[in-house]
Structure 1
Amino acid sequence: MKRTLTLALPWLLVLAAGGIAAALRYGLVESTDVARICETSQALVCDVRHWTVMGFITGNIFNWPIGIYGWVALAAAALALVWSRPLAAWLATATGLFALILYCFVPGALALLIGSLCLVRLQATAAAPLDPYRRGKRQVQAQP
């Protein structure tokens, strides 16, 4: 049970990050009710909506209009490639999904792919059983 939870927990947390991004997108950014509220008053919901929208609109770095979420996802993907740890792979996967849902499609998809592949590889190598017919440094015995 513990092994299953250890393998499934990062993926469940990625889905939670995607749920948060979907709630921001469909609950705040694309909601006509929130837009009407923000036209008439200045509530906390309006500030959260404004900063969420600014995250995917502003981000023209080196004349490449990606958005801040995309740049964060690309940085997390680079970190996952350089630093081979499950936390870095999870961060790339989660930020990639977050960016993908919040309109930064290309960098989000790239970070999601890189992070997912790194996370699967790290989980597969950590969960691989040891071969009882091999000793230490990959030496093959003549007889089992």
Structure 2
Amino acid sequence: MTLTHEEMDRKIDEHFGFEAADNVEGVLATLSPDVEHDIVGWPAGPTHGPDGARGFYEALFADLSDGKVECRKRLYGKDFLVDESLWRGKAPGRPFGIEGRNRPLEFRLLHVIEFAGNGDIRRENVWVDLASIIRQLPQD
């Protein structure tokens, strides 16, 4: 079964909505049981299954707050999409190992999302503009 662009949009927007609400269980419910979860540069490397992704989301929600994702552009293929977004919020924790000190932060994200036939996310590959994060959170 091939998903429509609208079905893909609904699933990724649901996923981002759970992220904005810091809802770990909600985010994990959007993933397929065999999901490959790959945040490029994350020290643990790619993980498999929702339980493998849990640690990333728990750390993310502790490190970043008040996040809003603004979609800039989406490209679609057969059962996948590429989403270019801008994340804006605060950094109360240590996002990507950098002391946030509750400072405002914004950075670009690139998601490559592959979908299972039932619409769940089968692969989430995320690229983060780490240079922008480092520039905005100088360590003085």
Query: Which of the five TM-score ranges fits, normalised by the shorter chain?
Result: under 0.3
More helix by share: 1
TM-score by length of 1: 0.24
More strand by share: 2
- Asked which structure has the greater CA Rg, the reply is 1
TM-score by length of 2: 0.24
Does 1 or 2 have the higher relative contact order (CA < 8 Å, sep 6+)? 2
